Structure 1
Amino acid sequence: MVNKSLKVLIFILLVSMVSSCRSKSFDSKEALLVYLKDTDNGYHFQKSINGIDYSLTYRPTDLMVLQSTEDGPQTDNVAEFRKKYADYLYFNLGMSANGKELLSHNLGSRAEFGAMVNQLAFGMAEKVNLIGQQRDTLPLLDYVFPRTYGMGNRTNMLLVYERNPKAMQQDYILFTIRDLGFGTGEVSFKIDTKKIEYQPQLKF
C-alpha cells in the first residue's frame, strides 16, 4: 500500500508536469521578446562559425496576431487571427559578419556582391530547410528579406513554414542553413516541438 508521503510526492510531480506544459502568458510585447531571447527558454539559438554569427528565433503566433491587431485588438479578432496564423511556423533568422550585415563583408568583386544580393533576396529557399525527426521536410512558403543597405548590424529575414502536424508530433524539428560561401559548412539548430506546442502567449 502506498504511504501518504509518497502519494503527496506523486501528486506534486504530476502538478509540476502539468504546469510545465502550460503556455506562459505575458502582459506586453517587450516582456515576451525578452523571454524569447533567453536561450535557456528554448526559442532562441545562436552559433558562431568562421567569423559568421547565426541566430534563429521562433516567432510565436501571438506576435503575428499583435502585428495584425495593433489598432486595438478585440477578443473576437484575436481568436480569428490566432486561428489564421496557427497553421504556420515563423522564424527570425539573423546573420552577421564581424558585427555587420553579410553584404557589408568583403565579398571581393562586384559580381560576387551581386550574387550574394540575389541569393539573399531570391534564393534562400535553396539554402534553408526545416526537417522533421523522421526526415520529412516542411515547405518554406515565403520569406521576407528587408534591404537595409549596410545600415544594420546583421542581415535579418523572416521565414514562414507550413506547420506539419506529423512533424510536430515528433520530439524535435531541425533547422538547417547551407554554407552561403563563407566557409561555415551547414549550420543546424535543433528545436523542441513541445516548445512550439506550448508557445508563450500575450494577454490581449
Structure 2
Amino acid sequence: MKRIHSFIGCLAIACIALFAQCSEARTEQNNDDIKVTQTSGQNDQLLKQGEHLVLIAGCHDCHTPKKMTDKGPVDDMSRALSGHPANMPPPDVDRAEMEKKGLAVTQTLTAWVGPWGISYASNLTSDKTGIGNWTEKNFFTAIRQGKHKGMENGRMLLPPMPWEMIAHMTDEELRAVFTYLKSTKPISNVVPAPQPPVSAAPGK
C-alpha cells in the first residue's frame, strides 16, 4: 500500500511540473505575440508619420509628375513620387539665357533649368530604379550631407532639392519618412542623368 501511495505522489508531482512547464510555454508564446503586436503597431505609426511628413514637406511638389486638368496642373498620383518621366524630353528653353539670368524653368515641375544646368526630380518609390535598394544609412547620408543616392563619395544633390532644410528633421522623422517611402508602390522609372550647364561645354 505504501508503494502505491508513493507512486501516486510521484505521479502527482510529475503532473504539476508538466502543467507548470506548459503554462510557462503559453506565457512565453503570449509574450512573443505581444512583442509582434507592439512591433507592428510601432511600424504602422512610423508609416503614418512618414506619410504625413512627405505631404507637408512638399515632396510631391517636385517628385510627383503633374497632369493638366480644367483646374490647372495637379499631382498625377498614379505616378506618385516616381520623379521625372524617363520618356519626357528636356525643357525646350534657351538654356544659355536661363543660365545667365539665373532663372529656373520647370516641365511638369520635375525638370529644372538654371546656372547648374538641368536637374531632374528623382524616383523616390520603393522600386529598384528608385530607393528600393537604399539602406537607412544611404537615406540619412543623402539628407544630412546632400549626397546623391546617399553615397558619401557621390556628387552633391542639385537644386531645387532643399536638403539643407530637410536636414533639420530629427532622426525619428527621417526614419519615418524612409519607412514610408520604402512602403510605396514600386514604379519603374529611370530618371535621366542631370546635364551640366552649357557654359561648361568645351570651347565655351
Same fold by TM (over 0.5)? no
Which structure has the larger Rg over C-alpha atoms? 2
Higher RCO (C-alpha 8 Å, min separation 6):
1
What is the TM-score when the length of structure 1 is the normalising length? 0.32
What is the TM-score when the length of structure 2 is the normalising length? 0.32
Query: Which one has the bigger helix percentage?
Result: 2
Query: Which one has the bigger strand percentage?
Result: 1
